[in-house]
Amino acid sequence: MPAASKTPGEWIDGFLFVGNHLALEFLNTRPILAEGPKELLPDVDALIRWLVASGMLTTQNGHALAKKWKSSPEAVACLRELLKFRERFRAVVIRQEAGFPVSGVFIAELNSLLKEHPSSVVLQRKGKRLDLEAAFDPEKPNDVWAPIAIAVAELLSDVSPGRLRKCEACIVHFLDTSKKGSRRWCSMNICGNKIKVAAYQQRQRTARNKAR
Ligand SMILES: [Zn+2]
């Protein structure tokens, strides 16, 4: 399965895609913007739009689901649980970035999610290649767990924790796929420039102080 469903496009339909991995894109649905922390999945409609933006659902299927799940208490409850899980997953990623292993409690939770919501895969032609992709055709809200659980499991098993990183200037996490492993911020547009300007100003201040 691909590490991310799309090449990083930064913002797609109001959602951030700079994580290089679906599990991290899910984590980054609560970024800190200039105006403070922002929940990008405040309601079921937003969750469906995120599934479309991340390439898991077609726009057409997204519209159909939005209609079907509009006033579904099951969908609201599912979103609430997904967001709680997202924050537990955040704690795991932060611990991994600090060099600590994944807790047994989280592994057990993830294993029961994987068992409860198995994923199916489908072979698809991509130009000359064949790609193994997650087959995602949700009917009930809880079906959304399958791609999230498998993405998180993949991240924790396939990715070297040394390549997991938090942006130096905000709470966005990403998988560093750069050759040198030297990526420092979520995106040049969002935080890279901010850091460069701050570093420039610091150099100027130091130079002025030295000149005195
Ligand atoms: Zn950032």
Ligand 1 centroid vs 190 CA: distance in angstroms? 6
Ligand 1 centroid vs 44 CA: distance in angstroms? 26
Ligand 1 centroid vs 15 CA: distance in angstroms? 14
Ligand 1 centroid vs 171 CA: distance in angstroms? 6
What pLDDT was estimated at residue 202? 79
The number of helix segments (H) and strand segments (E) in the chain equals: 7, 8
Consecutive 10-residue runs of the chain (212 residues): their mean pLDDT?
A: 47 92 96 82 97 94 95 96 97 94 97 95 91 89 96 94 90 92 87 76 81 76
Ligand 1 centroid vs 185 CA: distance in angstroms? 5
Ligand 1 centroid vs 189 CA: distance in angstroms? 9
User: CB neighbours (10 Å) of residue 89?
Assistant: 22
Label residues 103-140 b or e (16+ Cβ within 10 Å = b).
Answer: eeebeebbeebbeebebeeeeeeeeeeeeebbebebee
What pLDDT was estimated at residue 10? 86
What pLDDT was estimated at residue 209? 82
Distance in angstroms (rounded) separating the CA atoms of residues 111 and 109: 5
Ligand 1 centroid vs 106 CA: distance in angstroms? 26
What pLDDT was estimated at residue 1? 38
Q: Is the dihedral of CA 157, 159, 165, 167 positive or negative?
A: negative
Ligand 1 centroid vs 137 CA: distance in angstroms? 33
Ligand 1 centroid vs 108 CA: distance in angstroms? 31
What pLDDT was estimated at residue 9? 63
Q: Are residues 74 and 91 in contact, defined by beta-carbon separation less than 8 angstroms?
A: no
